[in-house]
Amino acid sequence: MDISVVVPVYNEEESLSELTEWISRVCSEARLSYEILLMDDGSTDSSWSVIKELKENNSNIRGISFRRNYGKAAALHTGFREAAGDVVITMDADLQDSPDEIPGLYRMIREDGYDLVSGWKKKRHDPFIKKFTSRIYNFTARRASGIKLHDFNCGLKAYRNDVTKSIEVFGEMHRYIPMLARESGFGGIGEKVVEHHARKYGVTKYGLDRFIKGYLDLLTITFITRFGKRPMHFFGTMGSLLFLSGFIVALYLGIRKLHYINIGIRAPLVTDSPWFYLAITVMILGTFFFLTGFLAELINRTSTGRNEYLIKDKV
């Protein structure tokens, strides 16, 4: 099979019929074999009933329904596990992503050799505040990750199938799939300018809170990708530096006390200096950091995935 199209669905009953017809028409015209995976993420409207009806009329459609709303990352993760196509394409169900982009994305994966291609909504049909926060967020993500993408959160992406089988999308980390892919050894990350449509049905499912969540997730994924397999490198280094700093200050106060006594000057009590309490506090924090790193290493060593390494090829 050439293509698997994975579509997370949450309360999008009005758009599903038009979307699946559009995808089917584009794939048929491009002579691509395909499947459409509609991932119903606990919708409270009649989306699942619509999916079952669409399945009866089109054998290329598959539907999976969650018992409750788990979030977009869970829908994508499950869709990736189920996808059978050589190229996996993700898009949102609200008709803002254009299925006309599918053949171009497919060619970039199959012919140009990319592992992952992310869409770039260069001209967006969104409210000003959403566009403004998106620019700030994407600028920060580029600087933190080193991946030169203009639109990390674009739902329209294409992947080689083995990329989707090698990454684990959890929490709300769907925004940072390119970072997860690179961490798994897939460095062929490209970008394609894609058409963006104004929302035709319903209302957006995201508010300003996603701006805050986006930055928290960025901190999480940055830490995981850099220190997830070696937490002691971070916590141990920080703990050692903090403890050493506090110890140097405490040592200085002690040596100064002894020096005053040695030359016959009445020395102030070490505990009268605010630096003493600061030094003790920093040393305690350093000890906690070091112990945290040690415990994280013990947990990491007992983790079932600690020795999972991705093999590129065999001869």
pLDDT digits (tens, 9 = 90+) for 107-121: 999 999 999 999 998
Asked whether residue 141 falls in the same domain as residue 281, the answer is no
Asked whether residue 139 falls in the same domain as residue 283, the answer is no
Asked whether residue 261 falls in the same domain as residue 112, the answer is no
Q: 199 pLDDT band (50/70/90 cuts)?
A: confident
pLDDT of residue 13: 92
Question: Any idea which of 94-98, 127-131, 187-191 has the lowest mean pLDDT?
Answer: 127-131
Asked whether residue 18 falls in the same domain as residue 61, the answer is yes
Q: 201 pLDDT band (50/70/90 cuts)?
A: confident
Asked whether residue 79 falls in the same domain as residue 196, the answer is yes
Q: Are 102 and 33 in contact (CB under 8 A)?
A: no
Is position 315 within any domain?
no
Asked whether residue 252 falls in the same domain as residue 146, the answer is no
Q: Are 142 and 179 in contact (CB under 8 A)?
A: no
Is position 307 within any domain?
no
Q: Which domain holds residue 141?
A: 3-227
Q: 211 pLDDT band (50/70/90 cuts)?
A: low
3-state SS record for the chain:
CCEEEEEEECCCCCCHHHHHHHHHHHHHHCCCCEEEEEEECCCCCCHHHHHHHHHHHCCCEEEEECCCCCCHHHHHHHHHHHCCCCEEEECCCCCCECHHHHHHHHHHHHCCCCCEEEEECCCCCCCHHHHHHHHHHHHHHHHHHCCCCCCCCCCCEEEEHHHHHHCCCCCCHHHHHHHHHHHCCCCCEEEEECCECCCCCCCCCCCCHHHHHHHHHHHHHHHHHHHCCCHHHHHHHHHHHHHHHHHHHHHHHHHHHHHHHHCCCCCCCHHHCHHHHHHHHHHHHHHHHHHHHHHHHHHHHCCCCCCCCCCCCCC
Q: Which residue has the higher pLDDT, 19 or 313?
A: 19
pLDDT of residue 33: 96
Q: What is the CATH number of the domain that holds 213?
A: 3.90.550.10
Is position 297 within any domain?
yes
Asked whether residue 104 falls in the same domain as residue 247, the answer is no
| pLDDT value at 207 more than 70 | no
Asked whether residue 37 falls in the same domain as residue 168, the answer is yes
Q: 304 pLDDT band (50/70/90 cuts)?
A: low
Domain final residue pick, 185, 211, 227: 227
| pLDDT value at 315 more than 60 | no
Question: Any idea which of 127-131, 172-176, 236-240 has the lowest mean pLDDT?
Answer: 127-131
Asked whether residue 171 falls in the same domain as residue 279, the answer is no
pLDDT of residue 245: 94
Question: Any idea which of 65-69, 86-90, 256-260, 276-280 has the lowest mean pLDDT?
Answer: 256-260
Q: 191 pLDDT band (50/70/90 cuts)?
A: very high
Is position 308 within any domain?
no
- Give the count of beta carbons closer than 10 Å to the beta carbon of residue 290: 19
> Which residues, 6+ apart, have CB-to-CB distance to 205 below 8 Å?
10, 11
Residue type present at position 119: G
Handedness of CA 165, 169, 174, 175 (dihedral sign): negative
pLDDT of residue 314: 42
Asked whether residue 206 falls in the same domain as residue 274, the answer is no
Is position 309 within any domain?
no
Chain centroid offset of residue 206 CA: 16
Q: Which residue has the higher pLDDT, 128 or 63?
A: 63
pLDDT of residue 11: 92
Asked whether residue 174 falls in the same domain as residue 245, the answer is no
Is position 211 within any domain?
yes
Domain final residue pick, 192, 207, 227: 227
Residue in 83, 158, 154 with CA at minimum distance from that of residue 115? 158
Asked whether residue 211 falls in the same domain as residue 297, the answer is no
Mean pLDDT of 175-198: 88
Domain final residue pick, 227, 242, 267: 227
Is position 311 within any domain?
no
Q: How many domains does the chain have?
A: 2
Is position 183 within any domain?
yes
